[in-house]
């Protein structure tokens, strides 16, 4: 069974702190890994996408890494701000169906981040 | 390009009633996905279409859920009869490729269902 796990489930930090969110997956044959942000009652906003051939991606204060051999990805947020408060979801795109083409995007349960002013 | 369109955005029904959600993917995207997101959890794949054929429906509760994708474009997800535990956001996504690292999913805003 393909699984994606996120630790911690919830995190509360003071403003300005650097923080790391963790994501692990069970299948090293990953196509890509994506980090999403979800605000309460809203849809998914894609933050960073790391292809299997890449090791990291950066966007502003965000940096995501991918280590296929260990089945891990991290999302690093520098100098956190109250506006960063949201749920962060990682999702691994994994092959599905050995006889037919296909892939399945499997999500973790998310990390609920609160940045306190 | 236009995004993934979903409707309705919100729906409130009583248990045992039926409901249908509609999704219009990005033009040219061959693959369409329906996800269910229960409050406090990550999205769970319900069904995946490649054009108008089903690729994966292993996690779809087929006794009450059904989905179709006519002509390989729009898709409809139906729940009949609804149960309290079906209260969730139903997310539709589409992608251009079906396999490979170039595959990137674009999500719609979701349809929020409340079953009373």
User: In the prediction, which pLDDT does A102 show?
Assistant: 67
What is the overall mean pLDDT for chain B?
A: 91
- Distance between CA atoms of residues B105 and A59, nearest Å: 19
Q: Express each pLDDT in B36-60 by its tens digit.
A: 999 989 999 999 998 888 988 989 9
For residue A99, the tally of other CB atoms under 10 A from its CB is 5
Q: Is B105 on the interface with A (CB under 8 A)?
A: yes
**Which chain B positions have a beta carbon within 8 Å of A31's beta carbon?**
99-101, 103
- The 10 Å CB-count burial string (b at 16+, else e) for A56-82 is ebeeeebbbbbebeebebbbebeebee
Reported as a pLDDT band with limits 50, 70 and 90, residue A2 is: low
The verdict on B43 touching A (C-beta cutoff 8 Å) is: yes
Torsion of CA B45, B48, B54, B59, to 10 degrees: 0
Whether B100 sits inside 8 A of A107 (CB atoms) is no
Contact A90, A47 (CB under 8 A): no
Tell me the nearest-neighbour CA distance from A76 into chain B, angstroms.
20
Does the pLDDT of residue B2 top 90, yes or no?
no
Q: Please report which confidence band the pLDDT of residue B102 belongs to, taking 50, 70 and 90 as the band edges.
A: low
Q: Which of A25-34, A56-65, A99-108, B101-110 comes out lowest in average pLDDT?
A: A99-108
Q: What is residue B105's three-state secondary structure?
A: coil
CB proximity A107 to B under 8 Å: yes
- The string of pLDDT tens digits covering residues A73-114 is 999 999 999 999 999 999 998 877 654 456 788 999 999 999
How many other CB atoms are there within 10 angstroms of residue B14's CB atom?
A: 11
Would strands B10-13 and B111-115 be described as parallel, antiparallel, or unpaired? parallel
């Amino acid at each position: 069974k393909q699984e994606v796990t996120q630790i911690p489930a919830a995190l509360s930090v003071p403003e300005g702190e650097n923080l790391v969110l963790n994501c692990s997956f069970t299948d090293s044959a990953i196509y890509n890994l994506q980090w999403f942000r979800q605000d309460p009652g809203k849809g998914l906003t894609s933050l960073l996408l790391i292809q299997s051939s890449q090791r990291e991606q950066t966007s502003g204060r965000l940096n995501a890494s991918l280590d296929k051999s260990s089945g891990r990805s991290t999302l690093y947020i520098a100098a956190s701000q109250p506006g960063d408060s949201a749920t962060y979801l990682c999702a691994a795109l994994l092959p599905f169906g050995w006889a037919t083409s296909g892939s399945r995007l499997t999500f973790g349960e998310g990390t609920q981040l609160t940045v306190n002013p | 390009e236009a995004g993934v369109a979903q409707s309705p955005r919100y729906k409130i029904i009583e248990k045992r009633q039926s409901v249908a959600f509609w999704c219009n993917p990005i033009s040219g995207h061959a693959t369409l996905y329906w996800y269910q997101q229960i409050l406090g959890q990550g999205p769970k794949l319900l069904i995946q279409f490649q054009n108008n054929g089903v690729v994966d429906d292993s996690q779809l509760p087929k006794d009450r859920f059904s989905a179709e994708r006519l002509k390989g474009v729009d898709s409809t997800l139906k729940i009949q009869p609804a149960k309290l535990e079906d209260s969730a956001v139903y997310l539709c996504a589409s992608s251009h490729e079906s396999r490979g690292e170039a595959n990137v999913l674009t999500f719609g805003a979701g349809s929020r269902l409340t079953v009373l």
